[in-house]
Amino acid sequence: MKDKDTPTYTPVIALFGMAALMALATSWAALGSLTTVQAAEWFVAIAMCLLALQKLKDVEGFSTMFLNYDLLAQRWVRYGYVYPFAEGLAGVLMMAGALMWLSIPLALFIGTVGAVSVFKAVYIDRRELKCACVGGDSNVPLGFVSLTENLMMVAMALWMLLKPMGVGLGH
């Protein structure tokens, strides 16, 4: 039996695994194929929604943990409360292929701020912190996985921004 204070990646692995399976199932149901570009897009959008859901279970706990490393939350504490809703909204809108004028800049903004914050805390300041990525009660170490989560949001926003019009999610 693991000590509850032992760092673990299990919640993140489970979440991303479920997001991948949901994206593949959605691709199969909607397009009749598992190997589609949309499956990859849906994976990121679903992962964003699932991550937001984990944070929304305990917004207070999340925002307290988030405050330890997020540069914007340290300057504007309310951002820690807004973030899970913004992440969920961007994910749902990207999943639906709707209001891309809102979801793209939203994902780009929160992903960029998050990536810079994680990079500074972990790789510049060399702080050993817990990641708030799967909620305020997690024991996931802040680092590569957190940085990857944020970079996925940035990449998804850039992809949606740069790809040809009319080929987006939900089309």
pLDDT category, 3, cuts 50, 70, 90?
low
- pLDDT tens digits along 69-122: 999 999 999 999 999 999 999 999 999 988 989 999 999 999 999 999 999 999
Q: Find the range with the poorest average confidence among 18-27, 87-96, 143-152.
A: 143-152
Average pLDDT over the chain reads 89
Question: SS3 of 117, please?
Answer: helix
Q: Is there a contact between 54 and 65 (Cβ–Cβ < 8 Å)?
A: no
Position with higher pLDDT, 145 vs 74: 74
pLDDT category, 134, cuts 50, 70, 90?
confident
Q: Is there a contact between 145 and 151 (Cβ–Cβ < 8 Å)?
A: no
Which residues, in sequence order, are CB contacts of 4 under 8 Å at separation 6+?
Answer: 139
Which residues, in sequence order, are CB contacts of 129 under 8 Å at separation 6+?
Answer: 68, 69, 121, 122, 141, 142
Q: What is the pTM of this model?
A: 0.88
Q: Write down the residue that tokens 């949001």 correspond to.
A: 153
- pLDDT tens digits along 29-38: 999 999 899 9
Q: What are 70's two structure tokens?
A: 């997020």
